């Protein structure tokens, strides 16, 4: 509200409260002019609630900080995708006086229970109205909302509002320790891979023991209700589809360093995706010829017609545009991806295909800002040099890289890579309720907060190609689909 207008109301509060008649006609006119929604106006439909008029003017009459409002408006689509307006979140906003109970009723619809009847657009509109109203709830509403998001574990949305929250204070510690059970000041030392054996750092048994204690049990939370609807990819087949893992850790004639820790990571990923109802196949140390044959074989399997999705994971050394095979040769990332495009894998048309490349994409090192975040590690990278080229794009695909183009990717030689560990943690903790984008944002936050002992950082990257719908893993939901097709 204009400051002078607000001042007029505040200085004449007693007179206004005496003279205003909050009758049905006046309130209906305010609704017609979109000053209030019908749900909001219920707050003033009887005289006992009249003091709330004073409360709303005094407490929330000021506009939200322009920069905060700009953050919400420019990130409206992402926030609408990431926010879950559940009962817990709304109750917390009431408790913090961001909204009154009457105001919040406008957003109390539990869309998950009506997903078959209510479209994704309806849900998005509900969230846009909520965010628009939030921008009119005063200068403190932004920070209070961010705190509530962290408190109810909606970290993907919270990170949009307060991207620096991981740099300090209890919020970072609570989030990281809740996931990893690892204090922020604990250091983890591993063997560097590059260079001669004489360059490698030796560690005491106690150090190794402390590393091993970071292992975690694989236990994926089950969803309470299947997420399905017009704008959601179907994910209920049993099995969901193949999870094809190429784990390359040993190379011909030692032309590349052994990737210690990769077997642990492959097995951990296999456990997670098995619990997500995928048929996991691990291909170990395949040559370029063998890998190409495997890709072709799996892209043509008739059983794909009964599947809902495909997961493909590559763990190896790499460089910008390429991944290294066990014989020291290279395959372009896009040559792997295009094997499952609509032409080469017709049984997967309109079905989500998720690709995870956990390898270096260059030789550059990210030294990051000059402050300490989470763990510091003596970590190893997976980099070598090759040429680059491009291939056409494809549809219904999500491609995720453990690092951005041109940079190294870090791996702990005992527990696996930063990215792989973070992805497993995110899937275990949130695949029962988070949409894919939220899971990836959560994973990215975990990777961002890792630091080597030399102060180096890592940033993951993901993109979509022809992605049309929301994606939920729906762990615990399984539907067997019989078919005359052969099981191969």
Total-model pTM: 0.55
Residues 6+ apart with CB under 8 A from 25: none
Q: What is the pLDDT of residues 270-321, one digit of tens each?
A: 999 999 999 999 999 999 999 999 999 999 999 999 999 999 999 998 888 8
Q: Are 245 and 394 contained in the same domain? A: yes
β-pairing, 318-319 vs 322-324, is: antiparallel
- 324 and 191 share one domain: yes
The CA–CA distances, whole Å, from 332 to 25, 56, 320, 325, 390 equal 69, 60, 9, 11, 9
Structure tokens at 91: 């109750």
Q: Are residues 193 and 242 in the same domain?
A: yes
pLDDT number for residue 42: 64
Q: How many domains does the chain have?
A: 3
Catalytic residues: 317, 360
Given this model, what pLDDT does residue 388 score? 42
In whole angstroms, how far apart are CA 472 and each of 227, 232, 431, 477? 7, 8, 7, 11
Pair (138, 194) in one structural domain: no
Residues 241 and 107 in one domain: no
Q: What is the percent of the chain with per-residue pLDDT over 70, rounded to a whole number?
A: 70
What CATH number is associated with residue 434?
3.40.50.1460
Let me know if residue 337 belongs to a domain. yes
484 within some domain: no
Domain, as residue range, for 152? 66-163
Backbone phi and psi for residue 148, each to the nearest 5 degrees, phi listed first: -65, -40
Tell me if residue 121 falls in helix, strand or coil. helix
Same structural domain, 39 and 150: no
Please, what is the angle between helix 141-151 and helix 169-180, to 10°?
20
CATH of the domain at 95: 1.10.533.10
Contact status, residue 420 vs residue 272, Cβ threshold 8 Å:
no
pLDDT in tens, 449-481: 887 777 788 889 999 999 999 999 999 998 766
Task: Tell whether 73 and 24 lie within a shared domain.
Answer: no
In a domain? residue 184: yes
Residue 471 lies in a domain: no
Q: How many residues does the chain have?
A: 488
- pLDDT tens, position by position, 401-443: 998 888 778 787 777 888 999 999 999 999 999 999 999 999 9
**Per-residue pLDDT tens digits for 182-202:** 333 322 323 222 333 222 222
Helices 418-430 and 262-275 cross at an angle (nearest 10°) of 20
Q: In which element (H, E) is residue 143 found? A: helix 141-151
Are 285 and 339 in the same domain?
A: yes
Structure tokens at 103: 């105001």
Q: Which of 11, 41, 60 is the last residue in one of the domains?
A: 60
**Distance set, CA 76 to CA 72, 129, 468 (Å):** 6, 11, 18
Q: Which residue has the higher pLDDT, 97 or 290?
A: 290
What burial class does residue 249 get, using C-beta atoms within 10 Å of its C-beta: 0-12 exposed, 13-18 middle, 19+ buried?
Answer: buried
Give 383's DSSP letter. B
The token duo for 170 is 């209890």
Most confident of 86-90, 253-257, 281-285: 281-285
Distances (CA, A) of 79 to 71, 130, 155, 291, 297: 10, 11, 11, 40, 40
Per-residue confidence (pLDDT) for residue 84, from 0 to 100: 87
Q: What is the pLDDT of residues 20-64, one digit of tens each?
A: 877 777 877 777 776 777 666 665 554 444 444 444 444 444 568
User: Do 352 and 398 meet the contact criterion of CB atoms below 8 Å apart?
Assistant: yes
- Which residue bears the tokens 């979109």? 34
Domain-ending residue, one of 136, 163, 190: 163
The pLDDT of residue 485: 40
Answer whether 458's CB lies under 8 Å from 407's CB.
Answer: yes
Collect all residues with Cβ–Cβ distance below 8 Å to 321 and sequence separation of at least 6.
332, 333, 334, 361, 386, 387, 388, 389, 405
End-to-end CA distance of the chain: 66
């Amino acid at each position: 509200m204009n400051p002078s207008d607000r001042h007029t109301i505040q200085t004449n509060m007693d007179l206004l409260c005496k003279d205003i008649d909050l009758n049905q006609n006046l309130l209906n006119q305010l609704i017609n002019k979109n000053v209030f929604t019908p749900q909001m106006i219920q707050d003033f439909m009887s005289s006992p609630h009249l003091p709330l008029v004073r409360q709303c003017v005094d407490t929330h009459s000021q506009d939200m900080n322009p920069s905060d409002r700009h953050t919400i408006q420019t990130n409206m689509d992402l926030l609408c995708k990431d926010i879950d307006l559940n009962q817990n979140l709304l109750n917390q906003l009431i408790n913090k006086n961001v909204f009154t109970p009457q105001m919040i009723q406008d957003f109390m619809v539990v869309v998950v229970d009506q997903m078959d009847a209510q479209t994704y657009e309806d849900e998005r509109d509900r969230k846009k109205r909520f965010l628009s109203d939030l921008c009119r709830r005063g200068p403190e509403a932004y920070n209070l909302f961010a705190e509530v998001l962290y408190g109810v574990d909606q970290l993907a949305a919270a990170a949009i509002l307060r991207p620096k929250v991981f740099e300090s204070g209890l919020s970072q510690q609570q989030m990281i320790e809740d996931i990893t059970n690892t204090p922020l000041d604990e250091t983890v030392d591993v063997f560097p891979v590059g260079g001669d054996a004489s360059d490698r750092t030796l560690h005491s048994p106690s150090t190794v023991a402390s590393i091993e204690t970071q292992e975690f049990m694989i236990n994926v939370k089950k969803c309470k209700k299947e997420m399905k609807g017009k704008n959601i990819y179907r994910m209920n087949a049993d099995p969901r589809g193949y999870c094809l893992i190429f784990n390359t850790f040993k190379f011909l004639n030692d032309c590349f360093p052994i990737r210690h820790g990769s077997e642990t990571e492959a097995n951990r990923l296999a456990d997670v995706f098995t619990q997500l109802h995928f048929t996991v196949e691990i291909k170990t140390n395949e040559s370029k010829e063998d890998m190409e044959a495997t890709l072709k074989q799996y892209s043509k399997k008739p059983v794909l017609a009964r599947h809902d999705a495909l997961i493909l994971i590559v763990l190896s050394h790499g460089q910008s545009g390429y991944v290294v095979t066990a014989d020291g040769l290279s395959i372009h990332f896009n040559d792997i991806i295009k094997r499952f495009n609509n032409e080469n894998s017709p049984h997967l048309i309109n079905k989500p295909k998720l690709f995870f490349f956990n390898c270096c994409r260059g030789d550059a090192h990210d030294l990051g800002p000059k402050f300490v975040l989470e763990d510091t590690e003596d970590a190893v990278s997976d980099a070598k040099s090759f040429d680059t080229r491009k291939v056409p794009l494809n549809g219904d695909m999500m491609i995720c890289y453990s690092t951005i183009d041109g940079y190294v990717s870090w791996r702990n030689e005992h527990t696996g890579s930063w990215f792989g560990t973070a992805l497993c943690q995110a899937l275990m903790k949130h695949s029962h309720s988070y949409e894919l984008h939220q899971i990836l944002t959560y994973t990215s936050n975990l990777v961002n907060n890792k630091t080597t002992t030399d102060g180096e950082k890592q940033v993951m990257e993901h993109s979509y190609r022809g992605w049309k719908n929301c994606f939920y893993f729906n762990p615990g939901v399984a539907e067997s689909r019989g078919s005359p097709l052969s099981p191969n």
